[in-house]
Amino acid sequence: MARLNQADLNDINRSFEDRSPLEILQWAHEVFGERIAVLSAMQRAGCMVCHMIGQHKLDIPVLFVDTGVNFAETLETRDRLASEYALKMITLAPTQTMEEQTREFGVLYLTPEGQKKCCQMRKTDPLLQAKGRYDCLIGGLRRAEGGKRGNVPILSIDPQMNCIRANPLANVTDEQLKSYLAEHQVIVNPLHAQGFTTIGCNRCTTPVLPDEPKRAGRWRHLGTWSAYCEINPTDRDGGLSKWIDLPVDLIDRLLGQKSDFAI
């Protein structure tokens, strides 16, 4: 095993700036083989990634975290994507139901501190069940989302999951996303047509007005204190400041180099 930090990815990230999302997906599939998966919450960008995988038969499984309080429309979108695009959908779930969690801890999402704990228990911890199974997780983060994602790298490290996070849509604009979805008639979450620009749990997500920020509907009741669940390392403060451990041969393939251990 060898250590890899964010700075090690600088050159390859620069080389990917002019690559298409499909090219990045195909590269990741070739480099990581069976140790790669998509992580999707069944929003527009994730649906675009799922469509590309299905259309080009890349045979990459899709991880979905079922918090137990997802909208019914989100679960229906997950099932339609799996069925119509022939995707292997893997659903991860918290150890406690929301009812069990509430009995033990109360209604956590009513305070900023409680919201972080609730998201940790219902989103991040279920994903951590898959730690060690994948060396790369593909997401749908885009710079056009703004906020902490305004400078999201195409490739980043995830110390919690000890893997690479790939964001092939990092450079995709709102207009390009909309055009792709329309051109290919991609299955999308129907909640988007009801004013939801971003979709999470049914307890903490609302539609937004046309003049509001895109993430205004997330944890609206907490004001400006909460905007991210932090399941993505680039949404965490200091999320890219550490390192991950990967096999040397994988790092060689990833960086296009050959290690020399001769003394």
In the prediction, which pLDDT does 151 show? 87
CATH 3.40.50.620, domain 2-245, yes or no: yes
Indicate the burial class of 86 (C-beta count within 10 angstroms; 0-12, 13-18, 19 or more): exposed
DSSP 172-229: --HHHHHHHHHHTT----GGGGGT-SS--BTTTB----TTS-TTTTBSGGGTTS----
| 217: confidence class by pLDDT, cuts 50, 70, 90 | confident
Dmax of the chain from CA atoms? 64
- Render pLDDT for 54-70 as a digit per residue (tens, 0 to 9): 999 999 999 999 999 99
Is 240 a residue whose pLDDT tops 90? no
Q: Are 186 and 35 in contact (CB under 8 A)?
A: no
Is 241 a residue whose pLDDT tops 90? no
Is 163 a residue whose pLDDT tops 70? yes
Domain spans of the chain?
2-245
In the prediction, which pLDDT does 233 show? 72
- Render pLDDT for 67-105 as a digit per residue (tens, 0 to 9): 999 999 999 999 999 999 999 999 999 999 999 999 999
Range scoring the smallest mean pLDDT among 58-67, 136-145, 187-196, 248-257: 248-257
What mean pLDDT is reported for the chain? Answer: 91
Q: Could you tell me the pTM of the whole model?
A: 0.90
In the prediction, which pLDDT does 150 show? 81
Residue appearing with tokens 């991040």:
124
Residue appearing with tokens 């590269």:
27
Is 261 a residue whose pLDDT tops 90? no
In the prediction, which pLDDT does 221 show? 85
Name 56's bridge partners. Answer: none
In the prediction, which pLDDT does 252 show? 92
139: which residues sit within 8 A by CB, 6+ positions away?
38, 39, 40, 46, 49, 165, 166, 167, 232
